[in-house]
Structure 1
Amino acid sequence: MADQVGVVEFSLGGDRYCLGIDAVTEIVDAEVTPLPNTPDRVAGVTDLRGQTARVLDPRAVFDVGDPGPDSGDRVVMLDTIDDPRGWLVDDVRDVHRVELADVDESFEGEGRGIRGLVRVAENDFMIWVDADAV
């Protein structure tokens, strides 16, 4: 259906975010090894079936606080060719079908990587992230 799109909902610092499902290859529980002398946005690396994958920390990009007390080492692997990378998130909550009419794209460009806001309920939104911009 052209009027709907799939998104993966995840949390960062207690806030709700989502990515288009077409940008996600898999979700894994992973041990992340920090790398010294790297920017804050680089969480480290992890082993993904024998291949080294970079792991980015979107908290640094979006200026989000520390992970919540229930956070785990969940990594959302992104659809990249020959350059495996993922995002370290607090938790992956759900996969949703979103009505495009419920996406407010007027916030696109207001902040780095923001594609828009998805209205989940009255006064309840998910921030839709553009994976390529981050």
Structure 2
Amino acid sequence: MARTSILAGATRVEPRPADQTVFAEAGRMAPDRVEAILRAADGSELVLPIELVRILIASAGELATGHAVTVLASETQLTPAEAAELLGLSRPFVARLLDSGDIPSTHLPDSRHRVVRLADVVAFQGRRERRREGRRQIADAIDEAGLPY
């Protein structure tokens, strides 16, 4: 039986341009200097723990820049196709990354199918972006020095 996509069921929030100023202001707040309170329709209130405040402030910063925010737990198990979708890569290329160990994966019990932790996909993307930035800095240094390449 095929499972439905984890990404399809994830909570996704699109920024509304009318709220951009509020998002920007909230995104600049220091989590340890903020108290966030949820107020229900019946007037009851709940003070949010610092972990939720950090999530809210980080999300506000992303929404302020026009990015949508998707909420998924780091331990979420993704299929190679879902990992490929998140990374903007082809599924066969991601399969090669899994085969080489560049992105850790595990096989499902008694199956050839693999799953990948979201945290491992995010870590891979971070490494990939750091390498890209390093290459860009090297190219900029070569251009500034006027060296042929």
TM over 0.5: no
- Greater Rg over alpha carbons, structure: 2
Name the TM-score class by shorter chain. under 0.3
What TM-score do you get using the length of structure 1 for normalisation?
0.26
Q: Which has the higher contact order (CA 8 A, sep 6+)?
A: 1
Higher helix share: 2
